[in-house]
Amino acid sequence: MRKVYLDRSELIGAICVNVEDAEVILTGITIFPMSAHDKNEEYQQFASDYDIQFIFDDDIPHVEFFTVPHVDIIAKDSKGGFVGTVYQQCDLESDAPICYINRDLECFIISENVEDFLSNIGTWQDNLKPYDKIIVYRSKAEAETELEFIDLSV
């Protein structure tokens, strides 16, 4: 079956796309930050103890890469890497895998879901395993040289 790609980072909210005789794969990076009003000592403790800096709306990082499939960034670390959920927005009930993309654009799996990640957060950096289910490009333009994208701007 033919695969076509849709950049999720350009879309807000829910979307349904059906392409006859093709599998539609969501791509790109999204960041849905928490409200700065929710910052508290617990989040500061995650940063201090585990080098996990969750993303808040008063300090949204600029991400300079593009993923296939879609990754929703939830945190960063002091080494220039990002933590995110694969193929869906993060929430505590999510069963989406948690990945880590380092500053060299190498991708690793951290855990199978958010609950597992949070219960093992103290050792997350020791649990990194190479993850070949995500392709990390330097830009969407680079991805477009290899993949067929759907253009929804009509």
Residue type, 84: G
Residue 48's pLDDT band (boundaries 50, 70, 90)? very high
Tell me if the pTM is above 0.85. Answer: yes
- Verify cis geometry, omega within 30 degrees of 0, for the bond prior to 69: yes
CA separation for the pair 58, 37 (Å, rounded): 9
Query: Where residue 6 falls among pLDDT bands split at 50, 70, 90?
Result: very high
Using one digit for the tens of pLDDT, what is the confidence trace for 53-112?
A: 999 999 999 999 999 999 999 999 999 999 999 987 666 567 789 999 999 999 999 999
Q: What pLDDT does 93 receive?
A: 66
